[in-house]
Structure 1
Amino acid sequence: MSGAPAVVLFDLDGVLAHYDHASRLRLLAERSGAGVEAVSRALFESGLERDADLGLHDAQGQVDEFARRLGRPVSLDDCIEARRASMRADADMLSLVRHVARQSQVAILTNNNLLLRDHLPAICPPLFPLFDGRVFCSAQFRLAKPDPAIFLQCLAAIDATPAQALFIDDKAENAEGARRAGLRAHHYTGVSALRAWLKECGIAGD
């Protein structure tokens, strides 16, 4: 166990949880009374979600700007519930993370906005208390993966160095960005391969 890394960083969507974009659009359409296409244009195609992921809006500011672009009333609760409807925690991954957490500190690093970070316990409750106080997002750093700088800033926030850390992401380019920052990284394709890689990195087996 002495060889275990100090910190293991996990991506969120596609690693810890399954994300269903269509469900999010449908619920926002139902809540606002707008069409699904209009919701997609206002939130995604307009660049609003990308801007929020880079920290240009706080949670309420993102909601207000979405409502303005959509031309319909939308509440913070609407947006939280839509994100909640789009996410399903991966039970097998959470079982593995609980095992990792007995040996190393675990944290989330996601390209996402402050709305998600601030309300993730309500959006995806099974992730907590496992990740309490250790959810980091691109918006707070105003940087996005795969930029190596975001990994360095995240690790600084938890008082760790790249040599002490592992990173797991379902996007190969993000794993490569972590490697450029000096972390050991894994391109996630499934739990079995990840379990084997973690063992190679010093995480004792189940």
Structure 2
Amino acid sequence: MNVVFDFGGVLFRWQPHEFMARLLPHRAPNEAAAAALVTEFFQSFGGDWGEFDRGTVDAYRLAQRIAWRTRMELADVEKVIAAVPHELQPMPQTVALLARLRERGHRLFFLSNMPAPYADHLESAHDFVQWFEDGVFSSRVNLSKPEPAIYHEAARRFGVAPNELLFIDDYALNVTAARALGWQALHFLSGEQCEADLSARGLI
């Protein structure tokens, strides 16, 4: 099988509410404030951050935009942007699943919305990223999930028909988009659930 992994929230920890509360406690003193800050800052990963994902705005300009839009101190905005790569720590259970799939001889690919500096960091910091035969980072193709074009580009690049690709993503809209284009797809909820789904398909 050709298995395609998302990165953030699947292979790498991404918990923005906890992250923002820890990084900017003066702006997120409680859960409600943290949730509001995440929504305002990341705009559901659309808006300014979506352009960062897409590779059409760099970190410097992103910080300027967010500071202007939110009226946050520029230093606070830059602190968040700089800290994100170190928050993206491997999720041991999913990495173990990746290793088992590799041992079974499945072809491994990735498809991730990821800003360019973070993509560079993950590739250099984590050896297991080299296990993937190929992959698509949104910032390197100026496209992003759940747009159909990025799935078409990924299938073309991997040289695999959509119905022969199994996509694993934690964001329901991305899973729905993949299925609409003929991909097989699993909605990632936890390492245990993902393992059970992969086992049920006879992949591990």
Q: Do the aligned partners of residues 80 and 125 (structure 1) sit closer, same or farther apart at CA in structure 2, a change above 3 Å counting?
A: farther
Give runs of aligned pairs for residues 152-171 of structure 1, distance below 5 A: 152-171=152-171
Instruction: State TM-score, norm by structure 2.
Output: 0.72
How far the C-alpha of 1:158 sits from its partner, in A, is: 1.8
Q: Do the aligned partners of residues 144 and 25 (structure 1) sit closer, same or farther apart at CA in structure 2, a change above 3 Å counting?
A: farther
Identity fraction in percent: 25
Q: Tell me the equivalent position of 1:20.
A: 15
Q: Tell me the equivalent position of 1:121.
A: 123
CA distance in 1: counterparts of 2:141 and 2:21, whole angstroms: 27
Q: Tell me the equivalent position of 1:196.
A: 196
Instruction: State TM-score, norm by structure 1.
Output: 0.71
Structure 2: runs of 5+ lacking an equivalent: 29-36, 68-72
CA distance in 1: counterparts of 2:85 and 2:142, whole angstroms: 24
How far the C-alpha of 1:17 sits from its partner, in A, is: 1.5
Over aligned residues, Cα RMSD in angstroms? 3.3
How far the C-alpha of 1:202 sits from its partner, in A, is: 4.2
Question: Quick check: 1:42–1:66 contact (8 Å CA) kept in 2?
Answer: no
Q: Tell me the equivalent position of 1:8.
A: 3
Count of aligned pairs: 185
Greater helix proportion: 2
Q: Tell me the equivalent position of 1:90.
A: 91
Question: For residues 87-128 of structure 1, what are the alpha-carbon distances to aligned partners after superposition, in whole Å with 9 as ceiling and x for unaligned?
Answer: 221101101111112321212211222222222234x52643
Aligned letter for 1:84? P
What SS is found at the alignment partner of 1:195? helix
Give runs of aligned pairs for residues 28-107 of structure 1, distance below 5 A: 44=42, 47-57=47-57, 62-69=58-65, 70=67, 82-102=83-103, 103-107=105-109
How far the C-alpha of 1:56 sits from its partner, in A, is: 1.0
Aligned letter for 1:166? L
Structure 1: runs of 5+ lacking an equivalent: 30-34
Question: For residues 158-197 of structure 1, what are the alpha-carbon distances to aligned partners after superposition, in whole Å with 9 as ceiling and x for unaligned?
Answer: 2211122100111222111111111111111222332232
